[in-house]
Structure 1
Amino acid sequence: MIPDEQFLTVDQVLEKLIKAIEESKPLSLVRIGDGENIVLAQDSVMTVENVLKEKWAQKANQDRKLKGVTLPNLTLRDQMVDAIKAADIVGIPFYKNDPILTENRLKRELTDQVFSYFQINPQMVCHTFVNRVFAQKKQFWKELRSKKIMLIGQWSEQASQLLREKPYKMNICINLPFDHNYQMDHTLETIRINKDNFDIALISCGVNSVVIAQKVAEMTGKIGIDFGKSLMFMVQGKAGLTHSSRGAKIDLLP
Structure 2
Amino acid sequence: MIRPAPIAMAVQANVPPAAPEPAKRRAAPGPPAGRRKKKSGAVPAAKDRKTRRGAARRRPARRGAAKPARGRRRRLPAEHETHAPLEDTAAHPAAGAGEGRDAYEAGYERGLYEGGELLLEQMIPPGALLAEVSLREVLAAGLAAKAPQVYPLAEPGLVYEELTHAIESKQPYALVRLGDGELLTLAQDTVYDAEAIRREGRFLPYAGVTPPDLAARDLVAMAVRQANRVGVPVSRRKHFQLLLHPVLRHHGIDPAGLRLTSSTINYALQQSGLLPHLLTGRRLLLIGDKAPALAEALVARGFAVVGIISPVNGFTAIDRVIHEASLIDYDLALVSAGVPAVVICWRLAMEFGRVAMDFGHLADALGKGQLSV
Same-fold status (TM-score > 0.5): yes
Q: Whole-Å Cα distance in 2 between the matches of residues 2 and 161 of structure 1?
A: 47
Answer with 129-138 or 181-190: which moved more. Answer: 129-138
CA distance in structure 2 between the partners assigned to 1:139 and 1:9 by the alignment: 12
Gaps of 5+ in 1: 242-254
Deviations 1:68-110 (A, max 9, x none): 222221111111011110100000012xxx3xxxx71211111
Structure 2 counterpart of 1:188, from 322, 329, 341: 322
Q: Secondary structure at the match of 2:351?
A: helix
User: Which structure has the larger Rg over C-alpha atoms?
Assistant: 2
RCO higher in structure (CA 8 A, sep ≥6): 1
Deviation digits for residues 108-134 of structure 1, max 9, x if unmatched?
111101111111234310000001122
1:117 alignment counterpart: 250
Match of 2:203 among 53, 59, 71: 59
Match of 1:250 in 2: none
Output the amino acid matched with 2:175: L
Deviation digits for residues 128-169 of structure 1 (CA, Å, limit 9, x no counterpart) = 000112233433222322111100000001110110112xx2
Q: Distance in 2 between matches of 1:178 and 1:10?
A: 29
Q: What is residue 129 of structure 1 aligned with on the other side?
A: 264
**Partner AA of 2:364 in structure 1:** M
Q: Confirm whether residue 203 of structure 1 aligns to residue 309 of structure 2.
A: no
TM score, norm. by length of structure 1: 0.82
- Counterpart CA distance in 2 for 1:68 and 1:136 is 27
Q: Verify: 1:175 aligned to 2:308, yes or no.
A: yes
* Deviations 1:165-195 (CA, angstroms, capped at 9, x unpaired): 12xx21100000134212112112222333x
Q: Which runs of 5+ in 2 are unaligned?
A: 1-146
* Contact 1:69-1:180 within 8 A present in 2 as well: no
CA distance in 2, matches of 1:81, 1:240: 33
Q: Which amino acid aligns with 1:188?
A: I
1:93 and 2:233 equivalent?
Answer: yes
CA distance in 1, matches of 2:166, 2:239: 33
The residue type equivalent to 2:227 in the other structure is A
The change in CA–CA distance for 1:221 and 1:179 in structure 2 (over 3 A counts) is closer
Match of 2:166 in 1: 20
Alignment match, 1:80: 220
Q: Secondary structure at the match of 1:152?
A: strand
CA distance in 2, matches of 1:2, 1:25: 32
Shifted more, 135-144 versus 173-182: the winner is 135-144
Task: Name the residue aligned to 2:19.
Answer: none
Q: Report Cα offsets for 1:192-235 as digits up to 9, x if no partner.
A: 333xx111100000111110111111111110100111101212
Whole-angstrom distance in 1 between the partners of 2:294 and 2:274? 19
1:49 to 189, 192, 195: 195
RMSD, aligned α-carbons: 1.9
Query: Take 2:311 and 2:188, find their aligned partners in 1: how far apart are those partners?
Result: 23
Q: What secondary structure is seen at the aligned counterpart in 2 of 1:138?
A: coil
What is the one-letter code of the residue matched to 1:185? D
Distance 1:193 1:120 in 2: 34
Q: Distance in 2 between matches of 1:135 and 1:180?
A: 27
Please state if 1:215 is matched with 2:347: yes
Look up the match of 1:152. 287
Distance 1:2 1:193 in 2: 46
